[in-house]
Structure 1
Amino acid sequence: MVMDDSSWIMANKVLETMNYELSSINHELSILPKTMNYHP
């Protein structure tokens, strides 16, 4: 499967966006226990 430059750029943008969303979800999950006054 050969991809031209625009396909690579598009795929790269999608991956960057997914990566950004995953890291923000990860951040929300990490602060969630604090906001809920979670006691282990």
Structure 2
Amino acid sequence: MLAKAYLRLSMFHFFDTTMLNFTKIRSTTCPKSLESN
């Protein structure tokens, strides 16, 4: 039970940081496409 919750939390954290890095890279690489969206 605890292991499953920890796994879910770590996966969510990993996904959150990945999305944050992706958006940061997107904004620095092509801000125009980000604005049009």
Normalised to the residue count of structure 1, the TM-score between the two structures is 0.71
* Structure with higher RCO (Cα < 8 A, 6+ apart): 2
* Structure with the higher fraction of residues in helix conformation: 2
RMSD: 1.3
Aligned-pair CA distance for 1:33: 2.8
Q: How many residues align?
A: 31
Calculate percent identity across the aligned residue pairs: 3
Structure 1 runs (4+) greater than 6 angstroms displaced: none
- Which stretches in structure 1 are left out of the alignment for 5+ residues? 35-40
Bigger Rg, structure 1 or 2 = 1
Runs of at least 5 residues in structure 2 that lack an aligned partner in the other structure = 32-37
Alignment of 1:7 with 2:4, yes or no, is: yes
